[in-house]
């Protein structure tokens, strides 16, 4: 029976990754590769490898959601455009299994479609709960990018939010492809570097925007905001909108 009200998974992606890192220290047997999946316009399927590096069997559940952004927030909605096979599996110790990601929608696209696969290690029936009475399991969140037939690229524009209570850098993506920002930082005119978000800063999906809080001093400083975009070897400068207030 189809859902009449769309379920929205509202855990921010950054928080999910932080949570996964914490839980990985306690339940690291489940491994997932690759860390992102891309489907070209000509491809109908791709694969995701699930591995069990532990000494006991484990069960996993694999689900797919449409990934969108609204007001800078990452949201996940149910989707029937991508199928997962198998959606439930049991992995023997020191084994691995291929999970197929199958595209069901072959309609022509002008903009990249974005999804996320959630891989959950399920609690075992005979596992012992920890001292707090909770049993920790592991979750992976893997992005899926379905590319259009025509060449796609991000087109980023940045602006400073000069709100005294919440100064921020806003990055808008007016292109047809996602932008993955890594090591977002500010380089002052004297060469001084100030980190804004080390490592994976986040994604800006096509037609969307995202904000990063800034120290008030950076809003007034003379310099350039930079980040590594989509794995390029050299950090790129983010063009600031000269008309922004």
Instruction: Point out the least confidently predicted range of 32-36, 200-204, 216-220, 229-233.
Output: 216-220
Stretch 97-108: mean pLDDT, rounded? 94
Instruction: Answer yes or no: are the C-beta atoms of 184 and 196 closer than 8 Å.
Output: yes
Stretch 192-199: mean pLDDT, rounded? 96
Q: How far apart are CA 204 and CA 72, in angstroms?
A: 8
pLDDT at 126 over 80: no
pLDDT at 3 over 50: no
pLDDT at 136 over 80: no
Give 168's strand partners.
161, 213
Task: Give the per-residue pLDDT at 137.
Answer: 80
Stretch 115-132: mean pLDDT, rounded? 77
Instruction: Point out the least confidently predicted range of 9-13, 99-103, 144-148, 169-173.
Output: 9-13
Greatest C-alpha distance within the chain? 62
Say which DSSP state 54 is in. Answer: S
Instruction: Answer yes or no: are the C-beta atoms of 213 and 166 closer than 8 Å.
Output: yes
Q: How far apart are CA 218 and CA 16, in angstroms?
A: 28
pLDDT at 106 over 90: no
pLDDT at 82 over 80: yes
Q: How far apart are CA 203 and CA 215, in angstroms?
A: 21
What is the token pair recorded at 142? 């893997």
What is the token pair recorded at 201? 């800063």
pLDDT at 157 over 90: yes
Concatenating the DSSP letter of every residue in 61-79 gives: EEEEEEEEEETTEEEEEE-
Task: Give the per-residue pLDDT at 228.
Answer: 98
Instruction: Answer yes or no: are the C-beta atoms of 142 and 151 closer than 8 Å.
Output: no
220: CB partners within 8 A, 6+ apart: none
Q: Could you tell me the end-to-end alpha-carbon distance of the chain, in angstroms, rounded to an integer?
A: 49
Coil, strand or helix at 146: strand
Burial of 206 (0-12, 13-18, 19+ CB in 10 A): buried
Give this prediction's pTM. Answer: 0.83
180: CB partners within 8 A, 6+ apart: 200, 202, 203, 229, 230, 231
Domains of the chain: 13-146 (2.60.40.10), 156-237 (2.60.40)
């Amino acid at each position: 029976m189809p859902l009449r009200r769309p379920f929205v998974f509202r855990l921010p992606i950054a928080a999910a990754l932080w949570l996964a890192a914490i839980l990985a220290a306690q339940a690291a047997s489940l491994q997932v590769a690759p860390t992102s999946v891309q489907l070209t316009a000509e491809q109908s399927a791709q694969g995701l490898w699930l591995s069990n590096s532990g000494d006991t069997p484990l069960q996993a559940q694999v689900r797919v959601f449409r990934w969108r952004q609204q007001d800078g927030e990452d949201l996940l909605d149910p989707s029937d455009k991508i199928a997962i096979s198998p959606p439930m599996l049991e992995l023997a110790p020191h084994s691995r299994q291929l999970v197929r990601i199958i595209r069901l929608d072959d309609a022509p696209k002008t903009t990249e479609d974005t999804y996320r696969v959630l891989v959950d290690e399920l609690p075992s029936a005979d596992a012992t709960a920890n001292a707090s009475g909770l049993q920790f399991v592991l979750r992976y969140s893997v992005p899926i990018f379905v590319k259009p037939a025509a060449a796609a690229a991000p087109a980023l524009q940045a602006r400073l939010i000069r709100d005294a209570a919440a100064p921020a850098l806003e990055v808008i993506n007016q292109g047809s492809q996602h932008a993955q920002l890594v090591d977002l930082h500010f380089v002052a005119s004297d060469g001084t570097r100030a980190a804004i978000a080390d490592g994976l800063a986040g994604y800006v999906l096509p037609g969307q925007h995202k904000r990063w809080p800034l120290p008030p001093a950076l809003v007034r400083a003379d310099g350039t905001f930079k980040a590594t975009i989509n794995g390029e070897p050299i950090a790129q400068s983010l063009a600031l909108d000269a008309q922004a207030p």
